[in-house]
Amino acid sequence: MKTQLFDRTVIKFLAVGVVNTLVGCGTMFLLYNLAHCSYWASSAANYVVGGIVSFFLNKYFTFQNKTWEWSQVWKFAVNVTVCYLLGYGLAKPLVLHLLAGQAVNVQENVAMLVGVCLYTGLNYLGQRFFAFKVDI
């Protein structure tokens, strides 16, 4: 059976992403703007809180993966860690360069938004084809 890159799992992943975004990004932007936590602490909180929500919703709802193996937890953790480091690590220097001259809080808020977008695309691919891949 050939696996298609885009199928109904994309729609489910995006729906879960709405919930995940409300929870994770809400945490991130509140910590950054109200609690005055750093860029990295705020985005890391998004990663941790969002990662927990994402693991359970995507495992059982999006990818219909009913098995329980600790290897999935480790694969998921590796996936979101790599996606986090790539997404946010690439976003910040790119946005700082593009928005040079803007206020730091503007640069970092935009960088976090760009990081979310990069993280989401990479995370879908990693969950679909690595963490929750079902071999047929």
> Model confidence at 1, in pLDDT bands (50, 70, 90)?
very low
On the 0-12 / 13-18 / 19+ scale of CB atoms within 10 A, 111 is: buried
**pLDDT value for 6:** 66
pLDDT tens profile 82-116 = 998 999 999 999 999 999 999 999 999 999 999 98
pLDDT tens profile 39-77 = 889 988 987 898 889 899 999 999 888 888 899 999 999
- The answer to whether residue 4 scores a pLDDT higher than 70 is no
* Residue recorded with tokens 């489910």: 12
d(CA 52, CA 65): 16
Average pLDDT value for residue range 18-41? 91
pTM of the entire predicted model: 0.73
